[in-house]
Amino acid sequence: MANWMIRLGEEYLGVLYDYLHSLLYDYHVIQADETPVLVNRDGRPAGSKSYMWVYRAGFMYSNRQIVLYEYQKTRDASHPRAFLKGYTGICVTDGYQVYHTLEKENEELTIAGCWVHVRRRFDEALKTIPEPGRKKSMSYLIMRQIQAIYREEGKLKGLSCEERLKQRQVIIKPLVDAMFAYLRLHDHEVPANGKLREGVTYALNQERYLKVFLTDGDVPIDNNASERAIRGFCIGKKNWQVIDTINGAASSAIIYSIAETAKANNLRPYDYFEYLRTELPKHTDNLDRSFLEDLLPWSEKLPEHIRKPKKQDSTGRA
């Protein structure tokens, strides 16, 4: 069965994967993340960590979503450097230094930070404080400010890119500026060690990246969409725990990419795979890749049964 899946990825789905990779470059905003995975036979000592990277179209785009996995042995900068070679636009990530290195190398690439990672650090700091004193702590005040930022950002859902940017500048930017002004003012009061110091240092070091979403209405406030996209793989590896070979890892990346892209575009993954498995073999000798346009998850030429029914609101409208 493993060999069947490897052949499926290499001989058929890989063609669509490569085409989606080329289309990802058309998006002004993308997002990236990575998670560790164990691969048995990769030429290294047992237990060596490999990584599954994920790249996706920016979450704020309402349609034509792309989610791509890529297996690599390590977590160094060479991998996103190669995968995103020549990309111009904004990439939303956590605070991993590798992405900042790429930004320095490519003046056409802008890295945007993730506010969830800031919030997590101050939440961890808050939990170290005894309950009676929490509401008087710096961690509590920062958490309240971040909650206010998220509350106002949540009100902008459904707005156009242009209108969202206007509202962010008028309403959210003053909240963000006030938080960083407070952190700089009280930085000297924070102990040199501990969770609060980690949170303050992280926030101040990431300030430039955390403010990028204020300059572009298509940039999400956090990287949660990438974490959601990679969650299916993380749940899977708790069951199978390890991938046997490099070829298996590479094919897994391709198959997970097609599945997550299908889900992101409101398709039924099983039915989509079945359709692709029927159509792709018809073009194995075709050097012209234009036929792939009809197989994309947003193509109007897909059979209707592949699409999930549109959700209705309380009035019964789709």
For 158, other C-beta atoms within 10 Å of its C-beta total 8
- pLDDT at 316 > cutoff 70: no
pLDDT per residue as tens digits for the range 241-253 = 778 889 999 999 9
pTM: 0.90
Question: Cβ(30)–Cβ(53) under 8 Å?
Answer: no
Burial of 197 (0-12, 13-18, 19+ CB in 10 A): middle
Question: Cβ(248)–Cβ(50) under 8 Å?
Answer: no
What confidence tier does 150 reach under pLDDT thresholds 50, 70, 90? very high
Cα–Cα distance, 28 to 24 (Å, whole number): 9
Question: Cβ(266)–Cβ(29) under 8 Å?
Answer: no
Mean pLDDT within 178-195: 96
Q: Give, as one character, the DSSP assignment of residue 273.
A: H
Q: Indicate the helix (H) or strand (E) that contains 225.
A: helix 224-240
> Residue 188: its pLDDT value, please?
96
> Residue 318: its pLDDT value, please?
52
pLDDT per residue as tens digits for the range 47-63 = 788 999 999 999 998 88
Residue of 236 and 20 predicted with greater confidence: 20
CA 77 to chain centre: 17
pLDDT per residue as tens digits for the range 251-283 = 999 999 999 999 999 999 999 999 999 999 998
Domains of the chain, residue spans? 2-111+223-306, 115-215
> Residue 315: its pLDDT value, please?
47
> Residue 312: its pLDDT value, please?
54
Residue showing tokens 């298996």: 248
Q: Is the dihedral of CA 201, 206, 210, 211 positive or negative?
A: positive
Cα–Cα distance, 110 to 215 (Å, whole number): 11
Cα–Cα distance, 209 to 310 (Å, whole number): 36
Cα–Cα distance, 292 to 288 (Å, whole number): 9
